[in-house]
């Protein structure tokens, strides 16, 4: 496939690589009109020039700029598929770039108390597309459009998505191994709030007569033994309001991490405060590397504190290669419009980076706490997300915590939702 563009740049290459190379399709750029006119095989015009012997799309200016601008966005249609227009121009390729790069988040004014971009204020949510892999849908639509007018042929594939369960370890234990001072303070807090059940439970766990409710590592072992590529993200930040794991110095905590490292890939779970202090994430990675005696190259942000571009720039500085933070807390779905992994494009530097992004499609807390779904409703929504991944490709990645898989407290009955997610291949959802 030969594609005419007036000028080749980083943004163009990034967008077309996603459309073509992600599907093992080859393409070439040219800015030579004569070469394009004389080319006898499949070709496509992506420019403002009138080259009448080939199908064309009039481009938005976005892919030819080096800065970040505000665009007026409205619903539009191309080749019978819904898109959006940018300043009145419906350019499906620019739409893919806009969503995939998270363009809107660089300018977002819609943030929660943690400074996170709100999913319910995103463009995808606005148009009801957040649970659709729109970048993949749009890519296929573009390819079918070209195929309908040239000798180029695109055949839709059938996909069998890899199911990847991931777990954040924010609090390794509810009561155990926290030290005398934290347990005394916790005990006093329970007494002050008249929480007799928690007071009793704390006593029983610390005396050894009851299992700690967050100690669900046997369940993670079981999941791994069934052939799943389990990934863990471990919090090792200093104690604070939002960072409350056990000390990284605790011998039993370190022993647990090393044990889990034998069966799962362990990445860093950067603390809440790491976004505002670059030394924090460096120290936390060093702590984890010191425990497992391996280089740490993967991460997922605690509280999903993904602030663009600074979060990803910090990860690159720490030589993180793979990040699993691309998803929302307040909604479920495809934050970047795809379930496929992709390289992060830094809009401030206008270039593709070495950091590979692995989107997840739902988080446990989004289903139960933010959306307040029943377990049956949650399974229905998860099945639809899986179908979308099955139809358009990618990995089916989801996020749970060691405490939420326990059927403990308001998570009673939710272990079946995790099991449902693990058995989606077997259930043959359709």
Predicted confidence (pLDDT) per residue in 400-418, tens digit: 999 999 998 999 999 999 9
Alpha helices in 275-404 (DSSP H): 278-292, 310-317, 364-365, 375-392
**Percent helix, strand, coil in the chain (nearest 5)?**
40, 15, 45
Instruction: Please give the helix or strand (H or E) that residue 2 lies within, else none.
Output: strand 2-4
In this predicted structure, what is the pLDDT of residue 205?
A: 85
pTM (two decimals): 0.94
Half-sphere exposure of 351 (CA within 13 A, CB side): 4
Q: pLDDT under 50 in the chain at which residues? A: none
Alpha helices in 216-346 (DSSP H): 217-225, 251-261, 278-292, 310-317
Half-sphere exposure of 381 (CA within 13 A, CB side): 24
Measure CA of the first residue to CA of the last residue in the chain; give whole Å. 34
In this predicted structure, what is the pLDDT of residue 183?
A: 66
In this predicted structure, what is the pLDDT of residue 186?
A: 65
For the chain, the maximum distance between any two Cα atoms, rounded to a whole number of angstroms, is 83
Instruction: Give how far Cα 298 sits from Cα of 22, 232, 325, Å.
Output: 22, 10, 10
CA distance 302 to 265: 17
In this predicted structure, what is the pLDDT of residue 399?
A: 98
Closest to 309 measured CA to CA, from 137, 68, 148 = 68
Strand pairing of 73-78 and 43-45? unpaired
CA distance 345 to 101: 6
- Cis geometry, peptide bond prior to residue 309 (ω within 30 degrees of 0): yes
Burial of 225 (0-12, 13-18, 19+ CB in 10 A): exposed
In this predicted structure, what is the pLDDT of residue 209?
A: 87
Closest to 373 measured CA to CA, from 357, 355, 385, 387 = 385
Strand pairing of 43-45 and 2-4? parallel
Asked whether the beta carbons of 38 and 28 are under 8 A apart, the reply is no
Q: Residues near 293 by Cβ (< 8 Å), separated by ≥ 6?
A: none
In this predicted structure, what is the pLDDT of residue 275?
A: 85
In this predicted structure, what is the pLDDT of residue 365?
A: 98
CA distance 161 to 387: 9
CATH level 3 topology of 162-174+212-427: TIM Barrel (3.20.20)
Alpha helices in 193-250 (DSSP H): 196-207, 217-225
In this predicted structure, what is the pLDDT of residue 179?
A: 72
CA distance 300 to 290: 19
In this predicted structure, what is the pLDDT of residue 385?
A: 98
CA distance 213 to 174: 6
């Amino acid at each position: 496939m030969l594609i005419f563009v007036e000028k080749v740049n980083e943004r163009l290459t990034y967008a077309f690589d996603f459309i073509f190379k992600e599907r093992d399709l080859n393409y070439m750029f040219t800015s030579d009109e004569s070469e394009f006119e004389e080319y006898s095989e499949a070709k496509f015009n992506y420019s403002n020039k009138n080259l009448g012997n080939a199908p064309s799309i009039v481009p938005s200016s976005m892919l030819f700029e080096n800065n970040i601008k505000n665009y007026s966005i409205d619903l539009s249609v191309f080749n019978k598929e819904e898109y959006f227009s940018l300043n009145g121009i419906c350019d499906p390729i620019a739409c893919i770039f806009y969503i995939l790069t998270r363009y809107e988040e660089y300018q977002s004014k819609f943030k929660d108390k943690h400074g996170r971009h709100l999913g319910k204020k995103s463009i995808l949510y606005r148009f009801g597309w957040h649970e659709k892999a729109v970048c993949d849908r749009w890519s296929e639509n573009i390819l079918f459009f070209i195929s309908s007018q040239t000798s180029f042929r695109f055949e839709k594939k059938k996909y069998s998505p890899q199911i990847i369960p991931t777990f954040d370890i924010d609090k390794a234990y509810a009561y155990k191994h926290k030290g005398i001072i934290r347990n005394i303070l916790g005990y006093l807090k329970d007494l002050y709030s008249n929480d007799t059940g928690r007071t009793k439970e704390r006593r029983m766990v610390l005396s050894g007569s009851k299992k700690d409710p967050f100690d669900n590592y046997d369940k993670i072992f079981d999941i791994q033994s069934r052939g799943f590529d389990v990934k863990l993200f471990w919090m090792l930040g200093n104690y604070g309001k939002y960072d409350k794991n056990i000390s990284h110095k605790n011998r039993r905590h370190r022993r647990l991490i090393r044990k889990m490292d034998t069966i799962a890939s362990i990445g860093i779970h950067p603390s809440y405060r790491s976004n505002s202090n670059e030394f924090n994430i460096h120290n936390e990675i060093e702590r984890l590397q010191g425990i497992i005696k391996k280089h740490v190259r993967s991460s997922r942000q605690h509280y999903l504190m993904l602030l663009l571009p600074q979060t990803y720039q910090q990860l690159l500085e720490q030589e993180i290669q793979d990040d699993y933070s691309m998803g929302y807390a307040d909604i479920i779905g495809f934050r970047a419009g795809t379930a496929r992994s992709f390289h992060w494009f830094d809009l401030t530097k206008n270039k593709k980076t070495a950091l590979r992004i692995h989107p997840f499609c739902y988080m446990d807390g989004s289903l139960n706490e933010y959306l307040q779904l029943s377990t049956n409703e949650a399974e229905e929504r998860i099945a639809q997300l899986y179908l979308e991944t099955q139809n358009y490709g990618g990995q089916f990645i989801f996020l749970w915590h060691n405490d939420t898989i326990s059927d403990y407290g308001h998570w009673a009955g939710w272990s079946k939702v995790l099991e449902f997610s693990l058995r989606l291949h077997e259930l043959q959802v359709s």
